[in-house]
C-alpha cells in the first residue's frame, strides 16, 4: 500500500489550502446557527380591523349584542355619520369597514325575516371579506336560534348567541417559528456543505492525480513490479478514503450544532443524501483530476465547477427564486438534485413511502451522475493507455 | 546474458527511431550506450523497459522476454530516468522509501535499505529536505538513490549526469563503479564520451537508431585508422618547415597557430620520434610536447564522418 500512503502524504502537503475551505464552511455553519432567521412569518397574530358602527334602529338588546360582538372582534372607531367624513375615514384608512344597522332591524329579526346590514368598505381590502364573514356568522347564529326556538326574549337570544360565538377551538401550530427556523438552518447547512465538499474534493483529488499522472513519475511507477491494476486500486482506495474523511469532517459539526436531531429520520436522510452527493462529487473530481495537467488550472476548475454549480443549483439562492432556464441548466449537475432533496427533506413532517419517493429518486439521479462521470474517467484513462 | 536485444525497430510515423537495433549486455559489466542527442538511446531504454511499444524485434532480460507485465523481471531492475522522477511533496527519505517500497514489502529491511541508499549517495544531511530545496546535483543523487535502494541486479541509468556540476558528476560516476563492484550489471547511456570512456567496460556507439560500433574502449579505438594527436610548442615555424612536417610518414594534417604545432597522424609506432627528429634537423627549438591518443569522438568521426561533439 505504498501508493495509498503516498496519496495521503501528497494530500497532507496541500492540507493548508483544503483546510481553508473546511474552516470557512464550519465558521459559516456556526455563524448561521446563531444568526439565521427565516424570511417569512410562521405564527398567527390576531389583528383587529378598524370599523365604524352606525345604528339607525332603536337601542335594542339585539343591536347592543351586535355592537358588543363587534367590539370584541374589531376596533370601533368614533366617526360621525356624515357622508364626507365617512368617505375620508375610508380614504385615510382610519376605518376599513362601515356597518350600518337599518331602521326596524331588531323587529325584523324577531319576526323571522332576514334584514340586511348595510356595509361599505375600502375596495380590494381583505378586511371586507373578513368583516362580511364575521357579520354573516353573527346573523346566521341569530337566525338559527329564532328558527329553532321561536318564542325567545331579546336578552336570552343575545346571551345565547354571544356564548356560542365566544366558543374557540384551540389550534396548536406543529411548525412553530423556532422549529421552522431550525429546519431552514439545517437545510441551509447541508446545502452549503455541497459547495465545500465539491471544492475540497476537486482540489484534493486533482492535486494527487496531477502528481501521479506526471509523465516522468508515471513512467517510473510503470517500471516497478507493482501491477498497474494494484497501483490504480490503491489510488482509487485513497480517493474513496479521502472523500469519506472529508464527508465526516463536514458532517461532524452538524452533530455538534443539531445534536439529537441528527439521529432522527430527517437527520439520517440529510446524512444519506450528503453521502451520496459526496460519491458523485468524487467521481467528477476524479474525472477532472485525470483531465487537468497543471495545478494552475486546478483552482480555476474548483471555482468553476463547485462555485458555478452551487450558484445555479440553489445553494446560495433558494431554488424557487431561480429562473426556469437556470434550473434546466442546473439539472445537469448533481448539486441541483442534492439541494432539491434537502429542501424536500426540510419540509417533511411524516415519512411515508410516497413522501420519500422523490427524495430517493433524486438520490438515484445523483448516483447516476457518479456512475456516468466515473465511466467517462475510465474511458479516458484507457484511451490514454492505448495511445501511449 | 543479462540483456539481449535483437533487430529492434521503432517508428514514429515516418521517423525511424530504432533501426534494427542489436546489442547484448553481459553479467557484471558496465555497458555504455554512447551517442549524440536524438540517436535513439532513450527510445532504446524505454523499449527495453516496456515503456514503449516497438514495431519489430525481441528483447530478453535474463533470458526471459521483457513485457509490461513481466513483474518478476522488473523486480531485478533499477532504473534511473533521464528526467528526475521524484515526488515534490515527499522528502528525501520518503521518496526513497516510496520507490524502495515498490520492490521491498518488509518494513524493517526497507528501512535498512533506504538508510544504506541515503549513505551511498551522500544525502544523510538532506534526508528531511524536500526536492525543491535540493540543488541540481543533489536532486540527481536522490534520483539515483530511488533507483538503487532495493539493490537491483541490473541498473539502467539514462543520462544521469545531465546538468550536473563536476563534483556531483564525479560522485555519481564513482557511485556507479561501486555498484558494479558490489555485483550489479550497469547499462549507462550518455552523450559525454569522457564519462563513458572513464567507467564503461564495454561501449556501443549509436547513431540514427543504429549501433555503429561495439567493443571495449581500446577495441573501438583500434577499429579506426586515426593515431595520436601531437602538440608541440615552438616559437616560430616557417611555411616550408610546416610543409615538411605534412610530408612526414603517417601525418594526416599539420597546423601551426598560437606557437603551437598540431599534428594529427594515422596509427604508427614512432610518430612522435619522427616529428621531433625532423624538427631537430631543421634547428627548431621545442617547448612543451603533448601526445593525445585517439578519443571516442575520433571513432565517431571516422565512422560517421561527423563530430560527436557537434551533435551535442
pLDDT at A147 over 50: yes
- Spans of all domains in chain A: 2-40+177-387, 49-166
The CATH number corresponding to B1-76+155-167+175-222 among 3.40.50.300, 1.20.210.10, 3.90.226.10, 3.40.50.2000 equals 3.40.50.300
Residue with cell 556531483: B168
Determine, for residues B85 and A217 on separate chains, whether the beta-carbon distance falls below 8 Å: yes
Please tell me the distance in Å from B195's CA to the nearest CA on chain A. Answer: 24
Give backbone dihedrals phi and psi of A99, rounded to 5 degrees, phi first. -120, 130
Determine, for residues A225 and B72 on separate chains, whether the beta-carbon distance falls below 8 Å: yes
Chain A, nearest residue to B98 by Cα: A2
CB A41 within 8 A of CB A58: no
Output DSSP code: residue B19. E
pLDDT at A177 over 80: no
A203, A204, A223, A388: best mutation site toward chain B, by most B Cβ within 10 Å?
A: A223
Among A266, A276, A264, A234, CA closest to A370: A276
Nearest-angstrom CA–CA distance, B308 and B296: 8
Check residue B310 and give its pLDDT: 47
CB A213 within 8 A of CB A290: yes
Q: Chain A to chain B, count of Cβ pairs less than 8 Å apart? A: 62
Among A240, A319, A245, CA closest to A283: A240
Determine, for residues A13 and B89 on separate chains, whether the beta-carbon distance falls below 8 Å: yes
Query: Domain A49-166 belongs to what architecture?
Result: 3-Layer(aba) Sandwich (3.40)
Distances (CA, A) of B198 to A125, B122, B174, B192, B302: 105, 21, 10, 10, 21
- Spans of all domains in chain B: 1-76+155-167+175-222, 87-152, 224-307
> Stretch A247-267: mean pLDDT, rounded?
89
The third-level CATH classification (topology) of the domain covering B224-307 is Alpha-Beta Plaits (3.30.70)
Under-70 pLDDT residues of chain B: 307-312
Q: Half-sphere exposure of A249 toward its Cβ, with a 13 Å CA cutoff?
A: 18
Cell numbers of B297, please? 569522438
pLDDT at A361 over 90: yes
Nearest-angstrom CA–CA distance, A305 and A310: 8
Chain B, nearest residue to A6 by Cα: B98
All residues of chain A having their beta carbon less than 8 Å from the beta carbon of residue B88 are 211
pLDDT in tens, A369-388: 999 999 999 898 888 776 65
Determine, for residues A221 and B102 on separate chains, whether the beta-carbon distance falls below 8 Å: yes
Give backbone dihedrals phi and psi of B18, rounded to 5 degrees, phi first. -130, 125
All residues of chain A having their beta carbon less than 8 Å from the beta carbon of residue B84 are 216
Output DSSP code: residue A261. G
Determine, for residues A219 and B69 on separate chains, whether the beta-carbon distance falls below 8 Å: no
Residues 6+ apart with CB under 8 A from A297: none
Nearest-angstrom CA–CA distance, A174 and A387: 63
Nearest-angstrom CA–CA distance, B103 and B126: 23
All residues of chain B having their beta carbon less than 8 Å from the beta carbon of residue A14 are 89
Give the confidence band of A10 by pLDDT, cuts at 50, 70, 90.
very high
CB A238 within 8 A of CB A3: yes
All residues of chain B having their beta carbon less than 8 Å from the beta carbon of residue A5 are 98
Q: Specify the pairing of strand B202-207 against strand B30-34.
A: parallel
Nearest-angstrom CA–CA distance, A75 and A96: 10
Q: Of the candidates A13, A223, A225, which has its C-beta nearest B49's C-beta?
A: A223
Q: Of the candidates B49, B50, B71, which has its C-beta nearest A227's C-beta?
A: B71
pLDDT in tens, A193-236: 899 899 999 999 999 999 998 989 999 999 999 998 899 899 99
Residues in chain B whose beta carbon is closer than 8 A to a beta carbon of chain A?
A: 46, 49-51, 68-69, 71-72, 74-75, 77, 79, 81, 83-90, 94, 98-99, 101-103, 146
Determine, for residues A211 and B79 on separate chains, whether the beta-carbon distance falls below 8 Å: no
Give percent of chain A with pLDDT exceeding 70.
94
Chain A, nearest residue to B94 by Cα: A6
Determine, for residues A10 and B74 on separate chains, whether the beta-carbon distance falls below 8 Å: no
How many CB atoms neighbour CB A219 within 10 A?
18
Determine, for residues A9 and B89 on separate chains, whether the beta-carbon distance falls below 8 Å: yes
CB A9 within 8 A of CB B94: yes
Residue with cell 516522468: A216
Check residue B312 and give its pLDDT: 43
Cell numbers of A233, please? 486500486
Determine, for residues A2 and B79 on separate chains, whether the beta-carbon distance falls below 8 Å: no
A9, A203, A206, A220: best mutation site toward chain B, by most B Cβ within 10 Å?
A: A220
Q: Taking the CA atoms of chain B, what radius of gyration do you get in angstroms?
A: 24
pLDDT at A42 over 60: no
Q: Of the candidates A6, A216, A225, which has its C-beta nearest B90's C-beta?
A: A6
Q: Give A367 or A261, the one with higher predicted confidence.
A: A367
All residues of chain B having their beta carbon less than 8 Å from the beta carbon of residue A6 are 87, 90, 94, 98
Among B71, B53, B11, B78, CA closest to A385: B53
pLDDT at A316 over 90: no
| Among the ranges given (A69-78, A122-131, A309-318, B154-163), the one the predictor scored with the smallest mean pLDDT | A122-131
Chain A, nearest residue to B66 by Cα: A223
CB B84 within 8 A of CB B139: yes
Nearest-angstrom CA–CA distance, A14 and A204: 8
Determine, for residues A227 and B98 on separate chains, whether the beta-carbon distance falls below 8 Å: no
Nearest-angstrom CA–CA distance, B300 and A41: 92
Amino acid at each position: 500500500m505504498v501508493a495509498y500512503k503516498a496519496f495521503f502524504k501528497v494530500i497532507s502537503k496541500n492540507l493548508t489550502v483544503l483546510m481553508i475551505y473546511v474552516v470557512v464552511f464550519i465558521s459559516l455553519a456556526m455563524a448561521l446557527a446563531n444568526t439565521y432567521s427565516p424570511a417569512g412569518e410562521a405564527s398567527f397574530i390576531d389583528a383587529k380591523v378598524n370599523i365604524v358602527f352606525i345604528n339607525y334602529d332603536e337601542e335594542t338588546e339585539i343591536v347592543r349584542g351586535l355592537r358588543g360582538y363587534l367590539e370584541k372582534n374589531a376596533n370601533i372607531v368614533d366617526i360621525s355619520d356624515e357622508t364626507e367624513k365617512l368617505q375620508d375615514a375610508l380614504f385615510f384608512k382610519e376605518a376599513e369597514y362601515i356597518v350600518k344597522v337599518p331602521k326596524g332591524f331588531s323587529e325584523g329579526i324577531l319576526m323571522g325575516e332576514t334584514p340586511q346590514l348595510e356595509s361599505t368598505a375600502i375596495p380590494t381590502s381583505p378586511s371586507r371579506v373578513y368583516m362580511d364573514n364575521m357579520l354573516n356568522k353573527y346573523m346566521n347564529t341569530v337566525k338559527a336560534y329564532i328558527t329553532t326556538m321561536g318564542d325567545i326574549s331579546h336578552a336570552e337570544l343575545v346571551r345565547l348567541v354571544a356564548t356560542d360565538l365566544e366558543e374557540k377551538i384551540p389550534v396548536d401550530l406543529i411548525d412553530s417559528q423556532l422549529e421552522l427556523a431550525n429546519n431552514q438552518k439545517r437545510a441551509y447547512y447541508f446545502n452549503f456543505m455541497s459547495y465545500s465538499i465539491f471544492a475540497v474534493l476537486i482540489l484534493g483529488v486533482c492535486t494527487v492525480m496531477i502528481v501521479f499522472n506526471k509523465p516522468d513519475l508515471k513512467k517510473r511507477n510503470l517500471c516497478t513490479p507493482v501491477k498497474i491494476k494494484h497501483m490504480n486500486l490503491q489510488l482509487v482506495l485513497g480517493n474513496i478514503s479521502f472523500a469519506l474523511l472529508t464527508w465526516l469532517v463536514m458532517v461532524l459539526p452538524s452533530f455538534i450544532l443539531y445534536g439529537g436531531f441528527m439521529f432522527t429520520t430527517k437527520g439520517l436522510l440529510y446524512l444519506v443524501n450528503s453521502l451520496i452527493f459526496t460519491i458523485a462529487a468524487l467521481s467528477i473530481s476524479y474525472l477532472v483530476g485525470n483531465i487537468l495537467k497543471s495545478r494552475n488550472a486546478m483552482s480555476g476548475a474548483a471555482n468553476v465547477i463547485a462555485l458555478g454549480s452551487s450558484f445555479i443549483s440553489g445553494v446560495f439562492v433558494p431554488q424557487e427564486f431561480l429562473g426556469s432556464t437556470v434550473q434546466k441548466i442546473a439539472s445537469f449537475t448533481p448539486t441541483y438534485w442534492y439541494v432539491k432533496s434537502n429542501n424536500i427533506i426540510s419540509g417533511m413532517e411524516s415519512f411515508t413511502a410516497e413522501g420519500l419517493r422523490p427524495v430517493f429518486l433524486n438520490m438515484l439521479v445523483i448516483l447516476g451522475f457518479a456512475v456516468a462521470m466515473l465511466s467517462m474517467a475510465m474511458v479516458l484513462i484507457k484511451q490514454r493507455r492505448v495511445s501511449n | 546474458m543479462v540483456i539481449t536485444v535483437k533487430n529492434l525497430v521503432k517508428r514514429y510515423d515516418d521517423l525511424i527511431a530504432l533501426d534494427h537495433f542489436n546489442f547484448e549486455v553481459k553479467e557484471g559489466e558496465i555497458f555504455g550506450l554512447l551517442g549524440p542527442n536524438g540517436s535513439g538511446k532513450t527510445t532504446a531504454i524505454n523499449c527495453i523497459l516496456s515503456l514503449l511499444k516497438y514495431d519489430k524485434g525481441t528483447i530478453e532480460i535474463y533470458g526471459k522476454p521483457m513485457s509490461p507485465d513481466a513483474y518478476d523481471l522488473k523486480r531485478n531492475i533499477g532504473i534511473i530516468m533521464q528526467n528526475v522522477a521524484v515526488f515534490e511533496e515527499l522528502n528525501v527519505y520518503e521518496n526513497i522509501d516510496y520507490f524502495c517500497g515498490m520492490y521491498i514489502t518488509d518494513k524493517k529491511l526497507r528501512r535498512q535499505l533506504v538508510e544504506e541508499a541515503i549513505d551511498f549517495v551522500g544525502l544523510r544531511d538532506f534526508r528531511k529536505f524536500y526536492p525543491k530545496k535540493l540543488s541540481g546535483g543533489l536532486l540527481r543523487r536522490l534520483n539515483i538513490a530511488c533507483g538503487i535502494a532495493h539493490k537491483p541486479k541490473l541498473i539502467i541509468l539514462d543520462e544521469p549526469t545531465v546538468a550536473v556540476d563536476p563534483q556531483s558528476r564525479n560522485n555519481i560516476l564513482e557511485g556507479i563503479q561501486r555498484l558494479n563492484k558490489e555485483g550489479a550489471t550497469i547499462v549507462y547511456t550518455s552523450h559525454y564520451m569522457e564519462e563513458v570512456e572513464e567507467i564503461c567496460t564495454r561501449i556501443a556507439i549509436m547513431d540514427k537508431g543504429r549501433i555503429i560500433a561495439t567493443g571495449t574502449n581500446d577495441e573501438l579505438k583500434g577499429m579506426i585508422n586515426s593515431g595520436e594527436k601531437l602538440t608541440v610548442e615552438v616559437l616560430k615555424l616557417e611555411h616550408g618547415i610546416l610543409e615538411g612536417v605534412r610530408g612526414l610518414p603517417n601525418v594526416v594534417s599539420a597546423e601551426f597557430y598560437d606557437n603551437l604545432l598540431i599534428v594529427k597522424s594515422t596509427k604508427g609506432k614512432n610518430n612522435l620520434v619522427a616529428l621531433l627528429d625532423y624538427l631537430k634537423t631543421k634547428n627548431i627549438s621545442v617547448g612543451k610536447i603533448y601526445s593525445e591518443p585517439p578519443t571516442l569522438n575520433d571513432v565517431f568521426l571516422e565512422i560517421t564522418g561527423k563530430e560527436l561533439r557537434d551533435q551535442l
